[in-house]
Each structure stands twice: as structure tokens, then as C-alpha cells.
Chains A and B, each alone.
Chain A
Amino acid sequence: MQTPKTSRAPLDRAREALDRVLFGQEDAKTGLLLALVAREHAYLEGPPGCGKSALAAALPRIAGASAARISFHRDTSASELLGEHHLRRERRETSERISFERMPGALARAEILLLDDLSRAPGEALAPLLRVLSERRLAGTQLPLESAVATAASDELEGHSDPLEPSQLDRFAVQLRIRGLLFGRRFALARELLDHPPAEPAESLLDAAQRHRIQREAAALPIDPAAIDALLRAVERLRAASGDEPALLSDRAFAASAPRILRAHAWLRGAPRVEAIDVRALRYMLARRVPESLEPHVAAILEDALLEATPIRALPADARPATAAGEGGGGADAPVPVAGLETIAAPLESIAAMPRARGDDDAASVDELVRALLGRLERGAVSRGDDPGGQPRGFRRMRRLDELLDADPVDGLLLVQGEASSVRVARRERRNAGGSLAVLRDVSASMEGRLSRWAGQVVAGLVRTGARRRMRMGYVEFNHEAERFEAGGAFLHRRYRRLLALASRRRAEGRTNYEAPLRAALAELRGSAARERHIVMLTDGVPVLGDPQVRRERALARELGVKVHTVFLGLGECPEVLDEISRETEGAGFVGRPGPDGRLSVRERSTGAGRRRSGGER
């Protein structure tokens, strides 16, 4: 084996080359180099214009690797990712045979694969690709693929992105969230960047043989038992600190990939073996595996695990605690007699003791409500067709050859015979997309404290779901009067971030009036061309102003086909008029009140309509 020292030089230079491509973003650069050495996939998440794509694109150039780049968009289909479709026509003695062939595309040749804006692709299109990534085989042949580097927008609401599933992201061993310098308020760094303008990477510093040697060398590094101990302790601590929030600490990531990342980390710092301190490299793996709220504490958690696994080094021999060395996971509980250790162990305890802030424990039950509401939103749109593209609604021109299967049969035949150049294929419309939704939120004086927080959570949940379905949304706060919130001059819009910001507003004043908000929302929905039009009204009280029966508004909603869903929050009796509104407009009714444990518990109210109608639904 070559000594690591000599062969590390090119990677040091690679690092410098990355510095020239983009000043700052040190974590992203380390993450990319770790992925390169470990032959793992990397995922960078961040806002537009913070340099993720530039760094990703620079990697293969600097590493001298052949690259392929896939730019994702909302129409990305599984087939185009894996190769191009050709149509093959063979004449036989007595027949003619026409078949589809898939020609492997750039994917088959790439050593480093760049996946730009991964989150813009629909999830179902990604599944086959991500599978190929983890198997590194396509149609039975081994791919030359070393690493895939994906970038994604951090904002899942604005823009055209679909949140990625954690299970899909698990294929990316390295995962990092990066921030722009400006919003990160790192103005000193920003000032330095002005003196180091980004440049294109000039030359490749490695070739395939060198890369492979480095990768082999790193993969052969021995791992200290203490390092494995630290790794396991770190994972255990991360799991404990995540609490009930979803964390994805999979065996694949931490048993299979983590040792490779640790080895790469050791190799990059020029060590002949993996030591416990290499467990610090885990922080490049955690962006989407642990809850975002844990992120500020990750470094401390890793240090704790590290310290627990190697107690002797940090201390003089005589101060060595008898219990700390071998006793396994319960480190925070075990009495630690040494002052130095206590202080360092504190972060974990502080996290465990952290108040579960901002009513996060309510979140789960609000989710239920949002889910139930959504079920109702989607009922109107459910269609029987099992084609993922949706129900056929007329024809359009064919854009890709693989759409031929969806073509008008006669057109398809003419095309194959060379007698037609344009082919009509079924224009499909996806269900669960589009539509308009107005959210009416009661902000009267009684909506304070917990009620207001719950209402905010429900609104936020609705906004997130609306964003996924690309619904146009509007927002009204009401008490004795209704206040409409516009964005860009329109009541119904898709500026979801704006709506989220509104959801977290806390306001409680005035008295309740149902008429004003309903009238305002219906006036807006009347002008909306969407087929699915919904109103969700959140309230905690009986109207004391305006028409308490809102007869005119109910009639108008019926006439327009707008479904009004009502959510009653609080301990009181749900006013009958809410049931009537929901029933008449074929909307759903919910009631949310604190259960015996003080948490919000939500259930669907029986408005007397649900059961009767469900028989007629498909």
C-alpha cells in the first residue's frame, strides 16, 4: 500500500480547486470529497443560488471523472431517466414485429452522476432511478458509477418541488443542508467572497486510476474498536435525542455506509486507521435523517458519543472513571465522577430535558385533522383510472416516443408505417392536483392561547397540502369583520410561504361573524375557474354578528358548487349552523377539543350527510 501521505496530495489540491470554484461552504466541500473517496452518494439541500449546483458540477471535473447530468422537472418520467426509448421494427417471414427498446443513456457511462433539482421530480419517477443508484446495476450490467450527487431546493413549498420521501433519501449516505451566506448572516464571509469571485474549475487533478487507488486504499483502512463503539453510541444518542419525531436511522445508512464514510474521513485527514474521532464525520450524513430541530445539537451529541467511547484519552490516567469505559448506552444516566466529563456530557441531557417547545406534541393530532380534511378534499376528485398519468381528457400531440403506448391506435400505426409525423396521444389529467381552497380563520377574542396555536397548525397543514397539490389558496382572518390577505394582487395564489407566515400569526380580538368571511371567500371563488373549489372555516364560537344562519351564503355556495368544510375548535357545543353549512354544501365537519391529557383530539363530526352520500361515491 502506498503511504496515505503521498497520495493525499491530489485531494488537497482538489479541495483548493473547490475553494476557487466557490468561496466558503466548507461543509459541502468536505461532504463531496467524503462521497468521492467513499464511493457513496451525496445530497445537498439549500436555497437557490447558494452554490450547490456549482460545487456539484465541479466535482467530476476536478476528479477527472466522466459525468452525466440529469436536470429534473415536474414532468420527468421514469423512462427518460434510465435511457432513451427507441422503436424497433423488424420484418419477419410472415409478420412484422414492432417493439420498444431502451437504449441506456448517459447513466450507463457516468462515473459521477449529477442529479439537479432532485426534488422537482415526481416521487414515482424517482423510485426506479434511486434503485439503480443503490444497486449500481442497470439491466444486468454493472455501472461504472462511483457517486451520485443530488441537489435540491430547501423550500418544498414555493416553486415546483415535491418533498422527497425519507426512504428515497436514505440512498444518499452524505446529506447536507447548506445556507446562503446572506440569510445565514455571515457577512464577513460574504465580504471575503467578493474578493474571491467564483471561477470555473480549470483542470482535472485526478484520473480514474488515481481515484480508484484512493478509494481502495480508504476502503482498506482498519477500524479501531473504539471507533465502532463511538459510532454505535452516536447512533443510539441520536435516536434518543430525536424523541418521537421521525428519524431515519437505518441499518443501511449506519451499518453499511457509515463505516465507509468514517474510513474516507480518516483517509482524508491522513490517518492510517479509523479512530473514534472519525465519528465526527457522521454529521455529514444527518441532514434529513434526524429532525431539523436537532441540527444545532448534532455536533454536541457526536462529541458526547466520542467522549463516552474514549474516556481515557481526554483525562489524566488517575482521574479515569471506573464506570465510563464499557458500560454501554446509558451514559447520561450513569454517575460520572469527573467534573470535566460532566460538563461535556451536559448537552445531551439538556436536549433530553428540553421542553418540547411550541406545542409540538399537538402536531400529530393536527396531522390527523389535516389528513381527514384532505380525504374529503380529494373525494370529489377520485377517479377510477389506474394510469398514473390520470384520466384521459381529450388528445394532445405526442412529445416523447415512449408515449406511443398512450397514442391513438390508428395514429400510432400510421407513424410506424411512416405515413404520419404527428401522433395524438391521450391528454391525461392528474387527479389530486389543482383546485382552489380558501381558508377562513376565526381570530375573535376567544381564539387565544392554545386554540389560536391549534388553528395555526391546522392552517399550516392545509397550506403544506395545498402546496403539494398546487392548489391556489386564499386566506381570510375574521372576527366581526373579514380581512382578506392577497399576494401579488390576487386573493387566490400559490405563494405558500406567505401563507405559512400568516398561519403563525397570533391574533385574538373582536367578536364572531360568519357572514362576512363566507361572503368574501365566495365572491373570490366565484371568479375561480377551478373545478374543485373548497372553503375550510375554522372557528370556536357562535356568530353574534351578521346573519347567524348565513342563509344567503349557504345558497350561494350550493349554487357555485363550493364545498364548505367546517372545523369547530374548543370545548363548547358545536353550533348547529356549522353542521348545516357542511351538510348543505357537501363539505365535511370536524370538531377538535382537548382530550383528558390536554392534547388536541380531533374527530369528524357527524353532520348527517357523510353516510348518506358515501353510498353514491365511487
Chain B
Amino acid sequence: MKQSLGRLRELLDRHVVGHAEAKDALLLALVCREHIYLEGPPGSAKTRMAEVAARGAGLGFFFYQMHRDTRLSELVGDVVLERRVLPDAAGERIHQTIEPGGILTAEICVLDDISRAPGEALNVLLRILNERKFGEKPIPLLTAIATSNPLRDEYYNEPLDPANLDRFAIQLRVSGLIQSGERALARALVDQFADGRVVEQPEPEPLLGRAELDALYAAQSRVFVPDAEKDRLIEFLRRLVVDYACDETNSLLTDRSFLVKAVKLLRGRALLAGRERVEREDLGVLGSMTTFRVPEEVHEKVPELIEEIAK
């Protein structure tokens, strides 16, 4: 089991240089069947990573480039008009239906540049993501990976509605290797392109499959969470609310994310580390949940806070 994840990680490493944190987060999302949101400037390999992870997972795959005119119907399949002849030559009836496709039939999807889509389309889309249901019908979707540019006027995007943003349990800020001053990695990247080995990015091969991911998910749910770690989680949240003054006006610490999904991510993190029991070091995963849920200055202090609590 560990092996299959290792192979996926290798695949990511083969295709994308650096970004260890984002790669771990992607694996975590796959193991926990959670949605993940990557935000970063153009050209920081967000989309590439998302695509490699998605294809490597070996699942039914759907990629959609969001744009300003994105309509919900483009994501859920085709809207078709059906005409039916009424019995007894009474005439005919024309009605509209949806031929399911896109996100309704995929197991994993990449929603590129999600913040460019108009809020209305997103609202319904993200509810589908959250409930994994369309209307009353369950959909096979396991994980959605969304990417976005930071909110800036020149990118023509809109901030995601907080309720929508909360659908993505894992949230990460990605920055380019050059921008973040990772010179060694940037060098490796340049080398990769400079020596002519990479003429064309090869299509990543599907590595895992549904059965393997199901087994991972089951293993994740069996990971033991000791009471001490649960207490630490609550202490972390208490500190955010009480000491760092996170409240409704500036933060999004929902019960759903931090009392339900956080536990799952802790277990997933333990599994990725090859353990069957959550340890205090797994608390670090909480830092990938607070990125856009608490004020930036508080998020910067989160690693410190986690360290303090883990003592």
C-alpha cells in the first residue's frame, strides 16, 4: 500500500520539480477523498501537478478550464432537447434534459482557474463536490483538484465565496521556484529543459486504480486517533478562536472542516507516514487547512502554534 503511494509520488517527482509540500497535499487528498485547492501565480506548475496526480491515480478523469462564461451545464454534461411524439397523434412534446457527463461521471476532476468562473455556476458546482450528489443521484467523484490565481485585478477573477472555499478541505498556496528563491530546484528545472531531454511533456501513465485507492481509503479510516491528539486538535482550535481572535468576520473555522475533516486528514497523514496511529507530528497537516480560512497574519503563526501544542 505504501508502495503504491510511493510510486505515485515518484511519478509526480518525475514530472514536476520541487513543490514537495503541494505533492504531499495532493496525495493526502487522494487518500482521504477530499478536495484540494491550490492557489498560486501563473506558471507555478499548479495545473501540471494537479493533472499528473489526477492521471496517475488512474481514475475516470475530467479536466475543465474554467472561464468567465462557464455555465454549469458545461460541467455536468450536455443539455439536450428531446422531442417525443405523443400517443394518439396528439402532437409532440419537446423538453430539455441533461445527458450526464463531465463532473457527473468522473472520479477525479481538475478544475483549472476556478476563481474565473462566475459565482453562480460555482455555487452549484461546489455543492455537487461537497455532497457528491447531483439531484438525488450519487456521483462517483472522489477528489476534485482546483487551481486558481491569487486574487488580483489583472487576473480577472473573483474571490471564492467562503462557503465555497470551505468545500476544499486542503488549501495550499504555491509559488514558483524562482519566486520563492529555491535556487537549487530552479536549477534542476532549468537543466531538465536545457539538456533537451524534455521535448514534449509525456502523458503521465495511470498507476493506481480504483481498487488501490479504495484500499487506501479503508486503511485511512482504520488509523487510530489517540485521545491526546484529539485534545491537541481542540486546543489548537481553542487557541485560534480565543487567543488569535478568529471569529465569523475574519475566519472560516467551520465545524465540518475542523471537527470532521481535520480528523480524517490527521489519519491520512499518519497513513502516508506509514503509521497506523496518529502521532503529534501529524498535527502539521492542520497548517494546510488554515491557509485561506484564517487571516494571513494568523496563518503565518500556525506552524509556531502547532509546534507549541505538540510539545
Contacts and interface: CB of A to CB of B under 8 A. Distances in A.
A289 to B, nearest CB: 22
Contact of B255 (A85, A87, A120, A190): A190
Given A74-B119, A501-B250, A399 B71 contact: yes
Contacts of A88: 86, 91-94
A182 B120 contact: no
A51 interface: yes
B230 A191 contact: yes
B234 A194 contact: yes
A124 interface: no
A616 interface: no
Interface stretch (A129-137, A151-159, A349-357): A151-159
Interface stretch (B105-113, B161-169, B203-211): B161-169
A364 interface: no
A237 B263 CA distance: 46
Contact of A101 (B79, B93, B120, B254): B93
B253 A183 contact: yes
Contacts of A75: 120
Contacts of B71: 399
Contacts of B254: 47-50, 180, 182
A195 B260 CA distance: 10
A186 to B, nearest CB: 10
A89 B81 contact: no
Contact of A159 (B162, B247, B253): B162
Interface in A20-70: 47-51, 69
B310 interface: no
A74 B238 CA distance: 35
A193 B120 contact: no
Contacts of A181: 255, 259
Contacts of B242: 185
A401 B95 contact: yes
Contacts of A198: 260
B159 A50 contact: no
Given A101-B93, A153-B163, A197-B260, A187 B237 contact: yes
Nearest to A22: B255
B233 interface: yes
A195 B248 contact: no
B135 interface: yes
B199 interface: no
Interface in A393-444: 399-401, 415-416, 418, 421
Contact of A182 (B152, B231, B241): B241
Interface in B115-150: 119-120, 123-124, 127, 135-136, 150
A163 B13 CA distance: 49
B153 A69 contact: no
Contacts of A91: 89, 91
Nearest to A197: B260
A490 interface: yes
A190 B92 CA distance: 58
B300 to A, nearest CB: 16
Contacts of A153: 163
B260 A48 contact: no
B79 A399 contact: yes
Contact of A495 (B96, B159, B257): B159
A89 B93 contact: yes
Nearest to A416: B94
A160 B124 CA distance: 11
Q: For this complex, into which size category does the number of interface residues on chain B fall?
A: 35 or more
B73 A399 contact: yes
A489 B161 contact: no
B233 A194 contact: yes
B153 A527 contact: yes
B8 interface: no
Contacts of A197: 260, 263
Nearest to B84: A86
Contact of A194 (B124, B158, B259): B259
A195 B230 contact: yes
Contacts of A73: 120, 123-124
B183 interface: no
Nearest to B162: A158
Contact of B256 (A48, A421, A492): A48
A519 to B, nearest CB: 19
B258 interface: yes
A195 B259 CA distance: 10
Nearest to A185: B241
Given A191-B230, A401-B94, A49 B153 contact: no
Contacts of A187: 234, 237-238
B249 A501 contact: yes
A28 to B, nearest CB: 12
Q: Which of A488, A492, A500 has the most CB of B within 10 A?
A: A488
B252 interface: yes
Interface in A171-190: 180-183, 185, 187, 190
A84 B120 CA distance: 20
B194 interface: no
A443 to B, nearest CB: 20
B229 to A, nearest CB: 9
Given A155-B248, A159-B162, A191-B230, A401 B256 contact: no
B16 interface: no
A497 B159 contact: no
A481 interface: no
B219 interface: no
A116 interface: yes
B237 A190 contact: yes
Given A47-B254, A191-B231, A494 B94 contact: no
A479 to B, nearest CB: 25
A283 to B, nearest CB: 22
A87 B94 contact: yes
Contacts of B166: 48-49
A598 B231 CA distance: 53
Given A74-B119, A187-B234, A187-B237, A182 B136 contact: no
Contact of A49 (B151, B255, B263): B255
B123 to A, nearest CB: 5
B83 interface: yes
Given A159-B164, A182-B259, A401-B96, 20 more contacts: A48-B252, A51-B256, A74-B120, A75-B120, A86-B95, A90-B91, A153-B163, A180-B254, A182-B237, A182-B254, A185-B242, A191-B230, A191-B231, A194-B259, A195-B230, A401-B94, A489-B151, A489-B152, A494-B158, A501-B249
**Nearest 3 A/B pairs, CB to CB:** A49-B254, A49-B256, A90-B91
7 contacts: A49-B163, A89-B94, A90-B91, A97-B91, A159-B162, A181-B255, A498-B250
